[in-house]
Structure 1
Amino acid sequence: MANDINQNYLLSSVKNALLIMRSFTLDEPEKKVTDLANSLNLGKSTVSRLLSTLASEGFVVKNPETNKYRLGLTILNLNTIVTNNLEINRESQPILKELVNDIGETAHIAVLEGSDVVYLYKIDCKHPVQILTHIGKRNPVHATSSGKVLLAHQSEDTIQQYIENGLYGYKANTITDPEKLRDTLQLVRKQGYATSSEELLESVASVAAPVRDYTGKVVYSVSVTGPVHRMNPKNPALINRVKRAAQEISENLGCWNY
């Protein structure tokens, strides 16, 4: 019984420590103990103890002037290990570089995780638009071209669940009608690409195409993103170039029947 209690306590502590680390964002890179305790519904003493443990291993750092904590360099080291060993990053890097050179806009590799699209890799163009995308950034699926490409190739149950969670209208062009989203996803599957124009951010457009693994399953997306005054997402040449990049990456991953 005592061992079970100790094990449950340990698992709870690990989970809470992970929740603390995941609570830091670009918008809120530093937080006080009270902020974390309130947002995570944890006791201040619990948060303080976990932060001290995390700080001792370099996962967080305390600013003595503000008494706020931020993520430490240990996280950066782990991030480097992860990104350097992702097969998709290795196989897509030269292709993304060519894509950025040809199109002149920023390119991304993304994956579907839960109800979000998450960016795994990014190569900026010479004049990137300030769209606040970065590795690990999460964006809503239905308001992005990458998200629509990935969702289009999920099961009907997954699509239904996403719709039931609600289609928030970020901008005037965001798809908020379930039937319209279903029609859009059907078209995406048929034409092999998705577009987005001012659906998540004003004056920003994107084009995405599916990337398949060696089994032929769509597991990633490749996209280019830029300002609407520089990039027309309906441009056939642009669309074909993104689709070609997706095919090349898929072939690098072992899919020869794209």
Structure 2
Amino acid sequence: MAPRRNKVASDEKNYPATPLKGVNRALHVLEYIAIRPGRAIDIAEAMDLSWATLHRTLQQLEQGGFLKRDPETNQYRIGPRMWFIGATYVANHRVLEIARPYVEAAVKTKGITVQLVEKSGRQSVVLLSSHSDEEITKAAYGYHFPLHTGSKGLVLLAFSGEDFINEYLGSGLEALTPRTQTDPDELRKTLEEIRERQYAITIADVQLHTASMAAPVFDRNSNVVACICFVARKSAMENVERRDQLLEKLLETAQSTSIALGWRPELAAKMRAG
């Protein structure tokens, strides 16, 4: 599905009305292209930048290896220098290091893909993806999805700050499939339910043939730092017995990862009780 050509948003708010300058502008351009590779003319229109200003920024980023331009399509994409920076981030990621053995243990369950996912701005980003006996989804490391799509995004959105949630839900939401929730009022109810039960299940809202479930990963201060996500075929999630089996394994994996990060469930329960 082609993305809508509306103004995109940065981490916590829409792009400022004042002109973007220097490093700030370059970072916003990189962020936009990471989500939506495209031609210069389309990027300039979406970001409300003049052609001359954007062209100069793109040239500098391309010369530095941060962007690459496809000579056949003229589309700009993230370049090798950004890959190096991203790889360094992952190599030094404490949550990823601690979660890896739990993800690898969970993937022994047949018929699922297990992912470790974190929130980055308005996106859920896959840090680690491991397949079992079959490839359910091609979403590997670095794949990103809007926060209102998929169980992983909904979990991460549900445990975000209230101001961020209000801004996000008020910014206009794109449907990836006919089953993607886009109504802000309905989404608020869904997020409340997720916070209460501490997991989410979605069916066919990202791809029509898949479904997923996700549960939050907490740190020692009971902050949600990531989530564990199981992706399976739609038919598996529609089978109640199979879904319950997967949910039990999911919650066990997320809780084990959280405890390894220093989370204390008994203390968290006391805090929720007031």
TM-score range, shorter chain: 0.7 to 0.9
Q: TM-score, structure 2 length as denominator?
A: 0.74
Give the one of 160, 179, 185 matched to 1:173. Answer: 179
Q: TM-score, structure 1 length as denominator?
A: 0.78
Separation in 2, partners of 1:156, 1:61: 37
Structure 2: 5+ residue stretches without partners? 1-19, 269-274
TM-aligned CA deviation for residue 175 of structure 1: 3.3
**1:158-237 → structure 2 map (5 Å cutoff):** 158-166=164-172, 168-232=174-238, 234=240, 235-237=243-245
Separation in 1, partners of 2:74, 2:158: 46
Q: Which residue number in structure 2 is paired with residue 248 of structure 1? A: 256
Q: Which residue number in structure 1 is paired with residue 106 of structure 2? A: 99
| Partners of 2:200 and 2:214 within 8 A in 1 | yes
- Tell me: CA distance 1:175–1:62, structure 2 relative to 1, closer, same or farther (3 Å): closer
TM-aligned CA deviation for residue 215 of structure 1: 0.5
Larger radius of gyration between Structure 1 and Structure 2: 1
TM-aligned CA deviation for residue 50 of structure 1: 3.0
Give the one of 24, 31, 42 matched to 2:33. Answer: 24
Q: Which amino acid aligns with 2:170?
A: E
| Partners of 2:110 and 2:133 within 8 A in 1 | no
Separation in 2, partners of 1:240, 1:223: 13
Superposed CA deviations along residues 197-254 of structure 1, whole A, max 9, x for unmatched, are: 1123212100111110111122221111122134447521100100011011111211
| Partners of 1:110 and 1:120 within 8 A in 2 | yes
Alignment partner of 1:120 is 2:127: yes
Tell me which moved more, 155-164 or 200-209: 155-164
**C-alpha RMSD of matched pairs (Å):** 3.0
Superposed CA deviations along residues 45-79 of structure 1, whole A, max 9, x for unmatched, are: 43343333333332234556666554332222111
Q: Which amino acid aligns with 2:118?
A: V
- Tell me: CA distance 1:79–1:160, structure 2 relative to 1, closer, same or farther (3 Å): closer
Structure 1: 5+ residue stretches without partners? 1-10
Separation in 1, partners of 2:70, 2:24: 24
Q: Which amino acid aligns with 1:22?
A: E
Tell me which moved more, 209-218 or 232-241: 232-241
Work out the number of aligned pairs and report it. 245
Q: Which amino acid aligns with 1:187?
A: E
Q: Kindly, what percent of the aligned residue pairs are identical?
A: 29
TM-aligned CA deviation for residue 20 of structure 1: 3.1
Tell me the SS of whatever aligns to 1:23: helix
Q: Which amino acid aligns with 1:240?
A: E
